[in-house]
Amino acid sequence: MSTEERAFEVVVLAMSFRRENARADIAEYFPPSVLALYDAVVADPRWDKAATLAEAALVVDDVLNENDDLAAAYQASVDAGEMGFGDGEDAEMDAAMAEVTRMLGDRPARHIDLPTQDLAESAGPDDPSYGSDGLGMAGGGASDGLLGGEEPVRPWEPQMPPTVGGEAGPPPPPVVAPPAPAVPPAVPDAAAPSASGDTIATVLNAELDGDRTRLTTGEKRQLSVFFDESASGAAVASIGVGVPIAASQQTIDLEVQLLSADFTVPPVPQILRLARDGASVNRAIFEITPLHEGASLLSVVVNVKGNFLQRLDMTFDVGTVAEPAVEQFGRPAGAAEVLEKRDATLQFKPVAGGYLLFAPQVTSEPVMIWITPDELEARIEGVRAVLLASVSKEENAFNLDLTEAERDALLKELAFEGFLLYESIFVGSTPSPELAKVAAWLRDELSADVATLQVVSKGFPVPWPLMYLAERFDAAPLSWDNFIGMRHVVEQIPLEWFDQTPPAPTIASAPDLAVRALYNDGIDAQMPSHPVAAQRTYWEGRGVALTEGTTVDELKSAALAPTSTDKVLYLYCHAVAKKDPLDSHLILSGEQSITLGQLRVFASPQDRLPSHPLVFLNACESGELSANFYAGFVPYFLAKGARGVIGTECKTPGLFASEWAKAFFDELFAGKTLGTVVLELRRRFLEQHRNPYGLLYGVQCDVDTVVTPALA
């Protein structure tokens, strides 16, 4: 292939990949090789930094050159003759082609060997398959770019560059366009349920060809992931789920990826299209090879637009005859309907000697983090101690505004501990190249204006908003912007299995918005600003269906009863963490306390809350908070049916906690998404009051949660 041909190919691909709704169109009309290429390209950190079409085309070229398996699959599509192309004029493409041709220079084009002679003979301006959009269909049968001459024109239509000097230019490289989609397009099914709110019983299966109990080092095997009503005897794992699909939607596209350090696995995800009848219209098929004998972990990760849905961990005993051990984590498949895009996703799981990190956007291998729970707790406590020292000062506790000197001193100390937390996790005393790659990706991915970081974890209670990102701590002036929580939306999800589909991320305010506020009135005796009285006044004037209370019984027997209709549960009280999470407790008025263990017994998680309340634990003036508190209470509230939990990392001044909560609910009720509200309030209080205490609030809830319609 000539440099000009290579330039043309990557420019057309880049323009196609930049189109709106590109992924959906590629998944619907093109074979897996093109979809895999698209996913690899847009996941590459260089893609988002490409400001021009030429720069984007060079990213495509780099990805193809750096991924032999990806290039080989794409080459196979070329060799299969599934090609079609068109002509036309586009000034942007013309300029990009010239620039890319110049910049490619001597770059090797290893992945494509175009059948240029055959194409030249079989396709031209007068050939029916030679469409006008630069991405025509092989065997298309119409010059308007129709699929099979019958389907609607695809929405992505890059134009071919004009010929030069009146003569035909180089044979244009093909862009994949199969005569029949590898994944069938979504079409209405008369036999499928059509009413809104249908819930279809189905099973997510992972199936291994051959004997699942006998794997041999170096032997290639095939793993299939699919949905169906029942599993065959070859299934390694089968998970029963209920899948709701709206009447307006016929299919849901899920991203399936394998992660393993013990098997060779494909580096890019595949698309699994789930239909309304509960069966997937295709299978995600992966070739795997065990690398050694003994315990070997293979993880199947299922995402929706980069948003974590499920993970299956299958541990095989390679070289012996044994049933594989299976663990499942995550949300039901039905959650796919309510999950939105996430820019970056990290998953953490405790293992012997440390934690296993899954970063599917960076590497197909789980990465080991060699840090013990005690070491991690020490780093977290280092951050918490700095904050506790600041909020405990009388001048900070009784005033909303911090002095410039206090703000700057806090920045210096908090940035150091926040960086040490980052360095201990992502560098450590024995850094690995894989971990360094994840660390660099995290810094690069979160260097944009605003991104959404999703952290899914079990036993890894890191206060992510307080983590300070920098390649070197002393290389640049300190800045509040380097704290993850001051620049980005952070969503933390406990890696637990709940057998229920989460609610849509909308809190309906009609016909009314039911709010229950429970207080510890004793806080006013400690605070001259009387924040409890101030909040009572606030809620009584908020125009919501308000229920107030001060007792443990009102929490246990009313707020957490299955008959509750509350959409917001707000607790302004004390909280105490204990080493055993079941001993952690909430303290309401009159020093009435209730432990998590007591709540689990007297307000069982089995008695779910159908109203899916947002729980806000505003535990002010609580010096005895630790990671153990939320490690117990968050899973409890989620299991009860709450849509999410917002809480503080350590003691928070009563005045600040009161003012921040009032501002939070004002913005949330005004129709802004929860993640946006938290981020904007952190910045606002820092700018207007020189107060960074908004970083104390962690969000363990869908950050797209919104009140609709908005309240005045």
- DSSP secondary structure, 563-589, as one string: T---SEEEEEEEEE--SSGGG-EEE-G
Instruction: Tell me if 92 is assigned to some domain.
Output: yes
Q: Which is more confident, 201 or 255?
A: 255
pLDDT tens-digit map of 102-125: 777 645 444 444 333 333 333 333
Taking residues 44-62, what's their average pLDDT?
Answer: 86
* Residue 312: CB atoms within 10 Å: 22
pLDDT tens-digit map of 439-456: 998 888 777 677 888 898
Domain that holds residue 317: 198-339
| Distance (Å) of CA 653 to CA 196, 272, 445, 530 | 46, 49, 33, 12
> pTM of the prediction?
0.66
Please classify residue 51 by burial: count the beta carbons closer than 10 Å to its beta carbon, then call 0-12 exposed, 13-18 middle and 19+ buried. exposed
Q: Are residues 383 and 254 in the same domain?
A: no
Q: Residue 295's Cα: distance from chain center in Å?
A: 29
Q: Is pLDDT at 307 greater than 70 in this prediction?
A: yes
Provide CB contacts within 8 A for 118, sequence distance 6+. Answer: none
* Of the candidate ranges 18-32, 366-380, 629-643, the one whose mean pLDDT is the lowest: 18-32
What are the E-state strand segments in 631-682? 644-648
Average pLDDT across the chain, whole number:
78
Q: Is pLDDT at 231 greater than 90 in this prediction?
A: no
Pairwise CA distance, residues 218 & 290, whole Å = 6
Dihedral sign from CA coordinates of 12, 17, 22, 28: positive
Provide, rounded to the nearest whole percent, the portion of the chain with pLDDT above 90.
Answer: 31
Q: Are residues 441 and 319 in the same domain?
A: no
Q: Are residues 450 and 420 in the same domain?
A: yes
Would you say 655 and 366 are in contact if contact means Cβ atoms under 8 Å apart? no
Pairwise CA distance, residues 96 & 100, whole Å = 6
Taking residues 360-380, what's their average pLDDT?
Answer: 88
| Count: domains in the chain | 4
Q: Are residues 531 and 625 in the same domain?
A: yes
Taking residues 677-700, what's their average pLDDT?
Answer: 94
What local confidence, expressed as pLDDT, does residue 183 receive? 36
What local confidence, expressed as pLDDT, does residue 94 receive? 72
What local confidence, expressed as pLDDT, does residue 278 receive? 78
Would you say 439 and 397 are in contact if contact means Cβ atoms under 8 Å apart? no
| Distance (Å) of CA 366 to CA 151, 313, 498 | 42, 11, 24
What local confidence, expressed as pLDDT, does residue 337 receive? 62
Q: Which is more confident, 579 or 185?
A: 579
Residues constituting the chain = 712
Q: Are residues 581 and 648 in the same domain?
A: yes
Would you say 465 and 679 are in contact if contact means Cβ atoms under 8 Å apart? no
Q: Starting at the edge strand that comes first in sequence, how are the strands of the sheet with 325-330 ordered?
A: 270-275, 251-259, 294-304, 307-318, 325-330
Q: Are residues 205 and 235 in the same domain?
A: yes
Instruction: Tell me if 191 is assigned to some domain.
Output: no
Taking residues 374-401, what's their average pLDDT?
Answer: 89
Q: Which is more confident, 400 or 242?
A: 400
| Helix 32-43, helix 22-29: angle, nearest 10 | 160
Residue type, 659: E
Would you say 243 and 200 are in contact if contact means Cβ atoms under 8 Å apart? yes
Q: Are residues 448 and 306 in the same domain?
A: no
Q: Are residues 663 and 544 in the same domain?
A: yes
Q: Are residues 477 and 525 in the same domain?
A: no
Instruction: Tell me if 192 is assigned to some domain.
Output: no
What local confidence, expressed as pLDDT, does residue 169 receive? 39
What local confidence, expressed as pLDDT, does residue 142 receive? 29
Would you say 91 and 58 are in contact if contact means Cβ atoms under 8 Å apart? no
Q: Are residues 39 and 171 in the same domain?
A: yes
Would you say 620 and 696 are in contact if contact means Cβ atoms under 8 Å apart? no
- Dihedral of the CA atoms 533, 535, 540, 542 (nearest 10)? 160
Q: Is pLDDT at 175 greater than 70 in this prediction?
A: no
638: left (phi over 0), alpha (psi -120 to 50) or beta: alpha
Pairwise CA distance, residues 386 & 413, whole Å = 7
Q: How far apart are the first and last CA of the chain?
A: 63
Output the domain CATH number for residue 261: 2.60.40.10
Output the domain CATH number for residue 694: 3.40.50.12660
pLDDT tens-digit map of 624-678: 555 556 677 888 898 898 998 998 877 788 889 899 999 999 999 999 999 999 9
Taking residues 70-78, what's their average pLDDT?
Answer: 79
Q: Which is more confident, 339 or 624?
A: 339
pLDDT band with cut points at 50, 70 and 90 for residue 616: very high
Provide CB contacts within 8 A for 630, sequence distance 6+. Answer: 461, 645, 647, 698, 700
Pairwise CA distance, residues 42 & 58, whole Å = 13
What local confidence, expressed as pLDDT, does residue 392 receive? 86
Instruction: Tell me if 136 is assigned to some domain.
Output: yes
* Residue 548: CB atoms within 10 Å: 15
Q: Which is more confident, 11 or 565?
A: 565
What local confidence, expressed as pLDDT, does residue 419 receive? 95
Q: Are residues 613 and 469 in the same domain?
A: no
Q: Are residues 567 and 699 in the same domain?
A: yes
Instruction: Tell me if 417 is assigned to some domain.
Output: yes
* Of the candidate ranges 175-179, 320-324, 398-402, the one whose mean pLDDT is the lowest: 175-179
Instruction: Tell me if 659 is assigned to some domain.
Output: yes
* Residue 370: CB atoms within 10 Å: 14
Provide CB contacts within 8 A for 543, sequence distance 6+. Answer: 711, 712
φ and ψ of 25, to 5 deg: -70, -40
Q: Write the DSSP string, 284-347.
A: EEEEEEE-SSEEEEEEEEEEETTEEEEEEEEEEEETSB-PPEEEEEE--GGGGGG----SEEEE
Q: Which is more confident, 246 or 374?
A: 374
- The domain boundary, picked from 339, 358, 389, lies at 339
